Structures are given as structure tokens and as C-alpha cells.
Amino acid sequence: MIAALTELETGQALPEVTLEPVSRLDLIKYAGASGDYNPIHTIDEEAKKAGLPGIIAHGMWTMGNLAKLFTPFYKDGFIEDYSVRFKGMVFLNDVLTLKAELEEKRENKLYFRVSAVKQNGQEVVKGKVVFALYE
């Protein structure tokens, strides 16, 4: 467990988090909480009509989950920049692991490479976080 982000050295990673297998309820909850009711995320038939093998997670659900690696550190600073590319689809029962590695420290900014990786090693979300430290 890392007490403060300032302890982290370049090349080191935050503790990884592996999520529970993606469930339909996760996606229904996210649809309700976010207002994104695109049915390809919740209804099998609609996903199939769209040419998908089954419902897929909202990209923003994965992006939202990924940010939680940084939540314990809001006392020290905040996420100033958070950018991702959605590279692959996440299906029901996929197991995602969330990762963040410190690439660079400059003045009061910490530059992280972040990703969400599937059980088969495929990166589904890839991006960067700039964490700005206070004072």
C-alpha cells in the first residue's frame, strides 16, 4: 500500500486492481447513473442487431473504473488530465485489470501511463493521467 504518491519513483506502478467479471447489472447500473441508455450495452438483441456477438461495456464505464486507482490520493492532489483511447470491446464476464505506471515526474506533476487489460492480455483502454500535486 502506498501512503502518498510522492513516495512513488519513476517506473513504479500503483497497486493493480482486478475487477469482478463484468456483469449485466454493472452495465445497467452505469446506464442509469450516466444516462447512456444505448441498448448495445444492456440488451442482447440490440447488440446482435448492431453486429456484435453480445452486449459490450460502455467505454466510459471502464474509463470511470480506471480512475479509481487515483482516488485514495485526492488529499495530495487531483487528476488534472485524463485521456484515453478505447481500443477494444469489453464483453460480459470479461475480467479487467486496472494499471497505472509512473512515467515521469516534473515539478508538481506526476505523469502516469494507465490501462485496462483483459484476462487474455488485450489492452482495451489505454491512456494517460497527469496528477497535479498541491502546494
Partner 1 sequence: MMTRMFAHLIGQKSKPVKNVVERGAVKKFAEAIGDPHPLFIDEETGKKSRYKGNIAPPTFPRVFDYGKIPGLELPKKGLIHGEQSYHYKRPLLVGEEIQCWAQVKDYYEKQTRSGRLSFLVINRYGADSDGEIVFEDEQVIIITEAVRKEMAK
Between 8 and 27, whose beta carbon lies closer to partner 1? Answer: 27
**CA–CA separation, 120 and 125 (whole Å):** 14
**CA–CA separation, 42 and 26 (whole Å):** 10
Mask: binding to partner 1, 40-79, rule CB under 8 A, as x and -?
x-----x---x--------xxx-xxx-xx--xx-xx--xx
- Nearest distance from C-beta of residue 3 to partner 1, angstroms: 16
**CA–CA separation, 97 and 17 (whole Å):** 6
- Asked whether the beta carbons of 66 and 128 are under 8 A apart, the reply is no
Mask: binding to partner 1, 84-103, rule CB under 8 A, as x and -?
xxx-----------------
**CA–CA separation, 76 and 66 (whole Å):** 19
Chain contacts with partner 1 (rule: CB under 8 A):
19, 26, 29-30, 32-36, 38-40, 46, 50, 59-61, 63-65, 67-68, 71-72, 74-75, 78-86, 127, 134
